[in-house]
Amino acid sequence: MPELSRFYGIVIKMYYNDHNPPHFHAEYGSDAMVVDLNTLAIIGGRIPPRATGLVMEWAAQHQAELHQAWDQARNMEPLDRIDPLP
């Protein structure tokens, strides 16, 4: 699964040709969650609350880029990296 971004121990990934709804995966240690790109709702899994807050802050800042990455992944194209939180 290609890595889109990494910050504060959190890794953001997206599968190629993955199922709908458009989403990304966030991993923190041995925990993981899945976040819907349209609503930024958690649709699966769980990571600690502080890490969840950082993921949501990052996702809100990069929602358009995440949609672009989703389109690239659906078309089996290389995914562009997305800047981490500062």
For the stretch 3-59, pLDDT in tens is: 999 999 999 999 998 999 999 999 999 999 999 999 999 999 999 999 999 999 999
Domain span including residue 38: 3-74
What's the pLDDT at 17? 84
Which tokens hold the place of 50? Answer: 């502080």
79 within domain boundaries: no
85 within domain boundaries: no
28 within domain boundaries: yes
70 within domain boundaries: yes
46 within domain boundaries: yes
Give the global pTM. Answer: 0.95
Q: What is the mean pLDDT of residues 63-77?
A: 96
Residues 20, 33: Cα–Cα separation, whole Å:
15
57 within domain boundaries: yes
Q: How many domains does the chain have?
A: 1
Q: Which of 61, 45, 43, 44 is nearest to 7 (CA)?
A: 61
pLDDT at 1 over 90: no
41 within domain boundaries: yes
What's the pLDDT at 31? 98
43 within domain boundaries: yes
What's the pLDDT at 83? 98
Residues 79, 64: Cα–Cα separation, whole Å:
14
